[in-house]
Amino acid sequence: MATESGNTIEALLEEQRVFPSPEEFAKNAHVNADDIFAQAAADPEAFWASVAEELHWFKKWDQVLDESDPPFFKWFVGGKLNITHNCLDRHLTSWRRNKAAIIWEGEPGDQVVLTYYDLWREVSKFANALKGLGVKKGDRVTLYMGMVPELAIAMLACARIGAPHSIVFGGFSAEALADRINDAQGNVLVTCDGGWRRGGIVPLKQMADEAVERCPTIESVVVVKRIGDEASIEMQEGRDHWWHELMESAGLRCEPEEMDAEDMLYILYTSGTTGKPKGIVHTTGGYSTQTYLTTKWVFDMKDDDVYWCTADIGWVTGHSYIIYGPLQNGATTVMYEGAPDFPGRDRFWDIVEKYGITILYTAPTAIRAFMRWGDEYPAMHDMSSLRLLGSVGEPINPEAWIWYHTNIGGERCPIVDTWWQTETGAILITPLPGYTATKPGSATKTFPGISAAIFDEAGNVVPEGGGYLVLQRPWPSMLRTIYGDPERFKEQYWSRYPGVYFTGDGAKIDADGYFWVLGRVDDVMNVAGHRLSTMEIESALVDHQSVAEAAVIGKTHELKGQAVSAFVLLKEGIDPGDTLLDELKKHVAQKIGPIARPDDIFFTADLPKTRSGKIMRRLLRDVAEGRALGDTTTLLDANVVDNLRGQYEDSEG
C-alpha cells in the first residue's frame, strides 16, 4: 500500500502506479474522448466562445479575446451578462426552480435548504436592501461572515447589482479586515453577530466594530443574527442594521444589472511574497465561462449529484466551486458551517452519509489529518453514494492520495487533483474524470484550452524535468489586475518571462507530459549548492510509518548556505526519541540522498498553518533562527508558534 512507494519527488517521477479512469465512470461522463483536447488546442478562442454560448448573455460579445494591450487582456469584449442570471433566473423556467440549490448544515446540526426559487427571492431582496443603503454599480461591499446561507445570498446580491464583493475570511483579525476594507474603500460591510466554531463563538461583530473604527469610508454595517443573545453585541444607532429587519421591508424583484463582460465581479485578497495583501480582481464574462465549464467537466456535474466542496467561501475555492461554478450548472451545492472534528472526528463522513454526497472536494491538509485520526472514523458511515473525489490547495503526497482513494473513495471513485490559484480564478491543471488516467501525486494535464509549460531560469521550455510552472496563453478567468496597483500586477506575474504568466510554483513534467507541482518556489532551499524542495523532504518524512505530518525549512547555515531543518508531527501513540530521530534522518538520506539529510529534526505537537491550511514555513524559519516573528495575521492559531518556540528553545538548551 501507501508506504511501499517512495514519496520523494524522484520517487514520484518513478511512480509506476497509474489509475485508469474506471470504465463504468467513463460511460456516462461529460468528457470521454480525445477530440475535445485537440479541438481546444487548435483554436482556444473558438473553444471558449463555444462554451460562453452555453450561458445567457443580454448582448453577445463582438470579440472573443483582445490582446492589444498585454498583460491587460480582455475576454468577450462588448458582451453583456449578469452571473446571477446564469446562477438563478435561468433555472426558474425549468423543473430546477424547485431543486435544492444550497443545502446548508450548521455546526450545531441545524439545516437550511434553499431551492433555486428560494435563493432567487432572497438574493433579489438583499440586492434591494443594499440599494436601499445606497450601494450602486461599481461600489465595493466587504463581507466578513461565517459560513452561513446569508453569505451566499449576500455575494450573489452584490453581483446582481454590479457591486463587486470583497469577502474577508471570518477567521481574519480586526486588523487584517481593516486593511482590506481600506484598500477596497467601500461604504458597506456585511457581518454576523458571531459564528459557531467547535461549540464556541467567533466574535465577528466585535472584530468588525474594532475594524470599522479604522475605516472612515464605512457608513453602514449589516448584521446577520446567527448566534443571538449569547453573542452580546452592541448595535450602533444609525450605522448598524439587522439583516432580518432590512429583509422584511425589501422588495421581491430586482432586475439584474447588465454587466459588461469586463466589469469587475469581485476582489479577493491573497497574501503575496511581501507583507501587503494583493487584491486580486476578477471580471464577469471570462470568469463566468470558465468556472461554469470547469465545474461541469472536472466534477462531471450532473443534475442528480449532491456536491460538497468543504472550503470556506472566504477563499477562492469557495467563490468558484461552492457558489459560482455549481450554481451556473444548476447543481445542488452543500455548505457546512463548522469544523471537521466537531462534535466528532467523523463529522465529514456523517455529512456525506446524511445528504448522500456524490462528489467531495477537499484539501490534502484535511486528508492528512483524517489519516492521522485513523481509518475507524470513515468506517463508521455508509459512504457508497460517493462517486468522485477532488483535492486542491497544495501538493498531495501519494500516501494521502492512496488513503483517500481507499478509505473515502472505496477504491471506486476517480480522484481529481486540481491545480489552480486565486489568480487563475478556475482550475487549470487537472484530470478529467472518465478520461484522464491518474497518477497519485500528479495534477496530470492542462484543462482543454489551457497552455502550461515548465521553464528553466533562462525561459527555455523543459520538455521533461523540473523548473518553473508558467502559463503561455491568456485564459478567460485570469485575474485582470491587482486592485489599485497595475504596476505590481505586471511586475509580479508578467516580468520574469516577457509575455508569459509566472505562477510562482515549481513543478516537473514527466515523459508522459504529466505535471507534478512541487510547491511555491519561495519554499525552495539551496543546500551547499544543491537545490532541494521543502516538499520533497517533507514527503520523504511523511513516507515513514511513524510520521503524520512534516514541515521542512532551510535554516541559515554558515557553511552550506542553508541546512535542512524539519518539524515533525508524529502519528498518535508514537513516542519521540533519539532512536526515532536517527531513523528519520537515515530515512530521508535513503530516499533522496545524503544531501537532504536533515541537520535537525524537531518533534512538535502542531504546525503553524494559515487559515486555509498552508504551513507557514516562514514562521518556522523565524523560530529555528531565533528571530522575532514576522507578520502573523494569517496564522490560524497564534499559540502554536509560542508553544513551538518555548519547546524549541528548551531542546536547544
417, 543, 549, 622: which one binds ligand 7RM (CB under 6 A): 417
520, 585, 591, 611: which one binds ligand 7RM (CB under 6 A): 520
Name the nearest CA neighbour of 122 among 253, 220, 221, 225: 253
Cα–Cα distance for residue pair 141/583, rounded to 1 Å: 54
11, 12, 49, 443: which one binds ligand 7RM (CB under 6 A): 443
Binding to ligand 7RM by residue 12, rule CB under 6 A? no
User: Helix, strand, coil shares of the chain as percentages rounded to 5?
Assistant: 35, 25, 40
Bridge partner list, 467: 507
Binding to ligand 7RM by residue 270, rule CB under 6 A? yes
Query: For ligand 7RM, what does the binding mask look like between residues 494 and 513, x meaning CB under 6 A?
Result: ---------xxx--------
Please count the residues of this chain forming the interface with ligand 7RM, following the rule CB under 6 A. Answer: 21
Query: For ligand 7RM, what does the binding mask look like between residues 276 and 315, x meaning CB under 6 A?
Result: ----------------------------------------
316, 400, 478, 636: which one binds ligand 7RM (CB under 6 A): 316
3-state secondary structure 557-574: ECCCEEEEEEEEEECCCC
Binding to ligand 7RM by residue 317, rule CB under 6 A? yes
- Rounded to 5°, angle at Cα 488 from 485 and 491: 150
Binding region for ligand 7RM (CB under 6 A) out of 13-21, 59-67, 299-307, 417-425: 417-425
CB of 581 to ligand 7RM, least distance (A): 29
Cα–Cα distance for residue pair 493/485, rounded to 1 Å: 13
**Is 260 or 394 the residue whose CB approaches ligand 7RM more closely?**
394
Binding to ligand 7RM by residue 449, rule CB under 6 A? no
Query: What's the sign of the alpha-carbon dihedral 42, 48, 54, 59?
Result: negative
CB of 411 to ligand 7RM, least distance (A): 21
**Is 71 or 519 the residue whose CB approaches ligand 7RM more closely?**
519
User: Which residue is associated with the grid cell 491587460?
Assistant: 72
Binding region for ligand 7RM (CB under 6 A) out of 71-79, 390-398, 399-407, 645-653: 390-398
Work out the angle between the directed axes of helices 44-52 and 285-298 (0-180°, nearest 10). 90
Put the strands of the sheet holding 359-362 in their side by side order: 111-115, 100-105, 332-336, 306-309, 359-362, 388-392, 415-418
182, 185, 421, 647: which one binds ligand 7RM (CB under 6 A): 421
Binding to ligand 7RM by residue 394, rule CB under 6 A? yes
142, 310, 328, 418: which one binds ligand 7RM (CB under 6 A): 418
Binding region for ligand 7RM (CB under 6 A) out of 21-29, 96-104, 207-215, 389-397: 389-397
Sequence-separated (6 or more) residues with CB below 8 Å from residue 466: 9, 454, 506, 507, 508, 518
**Is 65 or 396 the residue whose CB approaches ligand 7RM more closely?**
396
The pairing of beta strand 332-336 with beta strand 306-309 = parallel
Binding to ligand 7RM by residue 634, rule CB under 6 A? no
CB of 538 to ligand 7RM, least distance (A): 13
> What's the grid cell of residue 368?
492528512
222, 392, 527, 615: which one binds ligand 7RM (CB under 6 A): 392
Q: How many other CB atoms sit within 10 Å of the CB of residue 258?
A: 15
Cα–Cα distance for residue pair 446/339, rounded to 1 Å: 33
Asked whether 53 and 443 are in contact (CB, 8 A), the reply is no
Q: How many other CB atoms sit within 10 Å of the CB of residue 135?
A: 22
Q: What is the DSSP letter of 50?
A: H
Binding to ligand 7RM by residue 519, rule CB under 6 A? yes
**Is 408 or 443 the residue whose CB approaches ligand 7RM more closely?**
443
Which residues in this chain contact ligand 7RM in the complex, by CB under 6 A?
270, 316-317, 392-395, 417-422, 443, 503-505, 517, 519-520, 612
